[in-house]
Amino acid sequence: MNADPRWADVDRHITEMLVNQDAALAAVLESSEAAGLPPISVSPPQGKLLWMLARLCGARRVLEIGTLAGYSTIWLARALPEGGRVLTLELDSKHAEVARANFARAGLTERIELRLGRASESLRQLATAGAEPFDLVFIDADKASSVEYFRRALELTRPGSLIITDNVVRGGAVVDAASTDPSVVGVRGLYDVLAAEPRVSATAIQTVGGKGYDGFAIALVIA
């Protein structure tokens, strides 16, 4: 899938006109690039959508799987009321170090907890500890584990919570039933679970933009 140059142009237009990305958020992207991290944060318009969804569901407790430099984390943290918290899970200690510096620069150290380690292990611990339910979960780590992360997210939420998963279109590869790409297989498995799971009602939205052609799934926990 070749990116149309207009996608990035329009993303810039939306960002300049509507997103109000401030210096702290711009600094996250700069620090990420400077540290050699991959350019796979959500786009500015998508970050603002995460902020909006968190506001709309009145989120106080947010769980994020996959921190990178903390760009999406900061959008989510800024949506929370006084006393709200984001727990973000990251495997890579270099990514975590860059993210922690960004949280400090954004003045959000008190509001964000970063837990270093395999997400599957951190999620198992949260479930075992009987953690208070999260109001919103953003799944954005290794796509091969999408089903496991979604099942854990469902355990850790309550009716009314949102579970959002990034990168569920993959340039259209998601419709390739013959794909052996573990990311595609993982994301296809997620659709199977979303379709069959009576405790959620879900949709997915295709997106184009500066990051190419992809999309996200939103599941509302209904029971």
In the complex, minimum distance from the CB of residue 110 to ligand DHB, in angstroms, rounded to a whole number:
26
* Residue 72, binding choice from ligand SAH, Mg ion, ligand DHB, none, Cβ under 5 to 8 Å by partner class: ligand SAH
CB atoms within 10 A of CB 23: 10
**Matching residue, tokens 């984390």:** 73
What is the distance of C-alpha 126 from the center of its chain?
18
Which residues, in sequence order, are CB contacts of 37 under 8 Å at separation 6+?
68, 69, 94, 95, 98
Q: How far apart are CA 170 and CA 176, in angstroms?
A: 10
Give yes or no for residue 135 binding ligand DHB (CB under 6 A): no
Give yes or no for residue 167 binding Mg ion (CB under 5 A): yes
Within the chain, what is the greatest distance between any pair of CA atoms?
48
Q: How far apart are CA 200 and CA 189, in angstroms?
A: 15
User: Concatenated DSSP letters for 110-121?
Assistant: TTEEEEES-HHH
Give yes or no for residue 136 binding ligand SAH (CB under 6 A): no
> Which CB sits closer to Mg ion, 148 or 166?
166
Q: Which of 11, 64, 90, 140 binds ligand DHB (CB under 6 A)?
A: 140
Q: Which of 25, 44, 62, 66 binds ligand SAH (CB under 6 A)?
A: 66
In the complex, minimum distance from the CB of residue 103 to ligand SAH, in angstroms, rounded to a whole number:
12
In the complex, minimum distance from the CB of residue 194 to ligand SAH, in angstroms, rounded to a whole number:
20
> Which CB sits closer to Mg ion, 73 or 167?
167
Considering only 5-13, 15-23, 89-97, 152-160, which stretch makes contact with ligand SAH by CB under 6 A? Answer: 89-97
Give φ, ψ of 133 to 5 degrees.
-60, 150
DSSP state of 173: G
Q: Which of 102, 167, 194, 209 binds ligand DHB (CB under 6 A)?
A: 167
**Matching residue, tokens 């990420």:** 32
In the complex, minimum distance from the CB of residue 202 to Mg ion, in angstroms, rounded to a whole number:
17
Give yes or no for residue 40 binding ligand DHB (CB under 6 A): yes
**SS3 state at 65:** strand
Q: How far apart are CA 190 and CA 155, in angstroms?
A: 15
* Residue 216, binding choice from ligand DHB, ligand SAH, Mg ion, none, Cβ under 5 to 8 Å by partner class: none
Under the rule (CB under 6 A), what is the footprint of ligand SAH? 40-42, 66-68, 71-72, 89-92, 95, 118-119, 140-142
Under the rule (CB under 6 A), what is the footprint of ligand DHB? 40, 140, 166-167
